[in-house]
Amino acid sequence: MSVWKRKDLLGLRDLSREEIAAILETAKSFKPLLFREVKKVPTLKGWTVANLFFEPSTRTRVSFELAEKRLSADTVNISSSVSSVIKGETLLDTAKNLRSLVCEIIVIRHSIAGAPHLLAKRLADVGVINAGDGINEHPTQALLDMFSMQERFGRIEGLRVLIVGDILHSRVARSNIWGLRKMKAEVSVCGPLTLMPKGIDKFARVYTNLDEALIDKDAVIFLRIQRERQNSGLFPSLREYHRLYGMTEERMGRLSSKTVIMHPGPVNRGIEMVPMVADGDRSIILEQVTNGVAVRMAILYLISTVVRR
């Protein structure tokens, strides 16, 4: 019997180890399809999925759309600039209208933490997938990160994973911390103390020195530095940030030969890492992107087994 009983995927904080394992296992079975000549299965034929992106996105938006198409669903794409939200319609009204247009699953990215939770609660017969809500969670990113680690190392349990950068404002960091801990990885974080959430030391080992943090790690996830925070006083200049927390050729030379470099994208080249690191043979950044399609196919499929039509 399937362990998956949820109509929504809102975050990894609430998911069990078994539920996360079920998503990763299902994604593994979908991945070979991405390289077949005919990259399509009829699993979601007759279903309609609405992608509601109220914040910019390349990877998440495109990989959700491709995942839906690979599963034979019909898709509609809506951004805030072309929706009636700019005429004053509420998010809930927009979603109710999509339900009336018989969209059975809504994928939503929104700047307000909790926006997907509101839709999930108010729309009992629609599946809701969180594609990133404010600084709260980005569950599908963390799932594709874990899938990529599992693919590379054959396991997640016991892996020593370091997350570097603006932990305070990162939904990717939050989802990874919840997910990796459930899967029994050892999680560490590194960055300026001004960019660490209060109480983070209960969930992860905290470093402020990158050279110390990098010792003996299996996977290092660099987070995008949010340039919009440059003048907030929370971190030094971009040049200073790169000197203290950027991945350089010299730092690469001191890493264990098995350590992989990860980044959710978009990468600020020369800030989080130099191009030689982003493009080097230890980087699995583009594998992460490919895996995003398989992981999102798995989530769409599992949710479709629960949504009442």
Which residue ranges make up the site for ligand CP (CB under 6 A)? 57-61, 132, 138, 141, 264-266
Q: For residues 72 and 97, what is the distance between their CA atoms, to the nearest angstrom?
A: 23
Is the CB of 165 or the CB of 264 nearer to ligand CP?
Answer: 264
Rounded-to-integer distance, Cα 177 and Cα 171, Å:
10
Cβ nearer to ligand CP, comparing 94 with 141: 141
Tokens at residue 204, please?
A: 């992860």
Identity of the residue, 51 or 94, whose beta carbon is nearer to ligand CP in the bound complex: 51
Cα–Cα distance for residue pair 130/4, rounded to 1 Å: 17
Cis before 42 (ω within 30): no
Token representation of residue 278:
């982003």
Least distance (Å) from ligand CP to the CB of residue 15? 19
Name the token pair of 241: 């940030």
**Which string of DSSP letters, residue by residue, matches 176-187?**
HHHHHHHTT-EE
For residue 293, which of 41, 33, 2, 11 has the smallest C-alpha distance?
33
Closest CB 33 distance from ligand CP, rounded Å:
22
Q: In angstroms, what is the minimal distance from the CB of 77 to ligand CP?
A: 13
Quote the least distance from Cβ 172 to ligand CP, whole Å. 7
Minimum distance of ligand CP from residue 60's CB (angstroms): 3
Beta-sheet strands, E only, within 99-139: 105-110, 127-133
When the beta carbons of 156 and 267 are compared against ligand CP, the nearer one is 267
Residue 252 Cβ vs ligand CP, minimum distance, rounded to whole Å:
22
Based on CB atoms, which residue is closest to ligand CP, 255 or 273? 273
Q: Which CB, 58 or 209, lies closer to ligand CP?
A: 58
- Counting Cα atoms < 13 Å in the Cβ hemisphere of 20 gives 28
The dihedral through the CA atoms of 213, 214, 215, 216 has a sign that is positive
In the complex with ligand CP, which residue's Cβ is closer, 139 or 191?
A: 139
- C-alpha 213/C-alpha 206 separation (Å) is 8
State the Rg of the chain over Cα.
19
Closest distance to ligand CP from the beta carbon of 131 (Å):
7
Q: How far is the CA of 166 from the CAs of 87, 190, 210, in angstroms?
A: 34, 9, 13
Residue among 255 and 272 whose Cβ is closer to ligand CP? 272
Please give the order of strands across the beta sheet that includes 105-110: 74-79, 48-53, 105-110, 127-133
Q: How far is the CB of 144 from ligand CP (least distance, A)?
A: 9
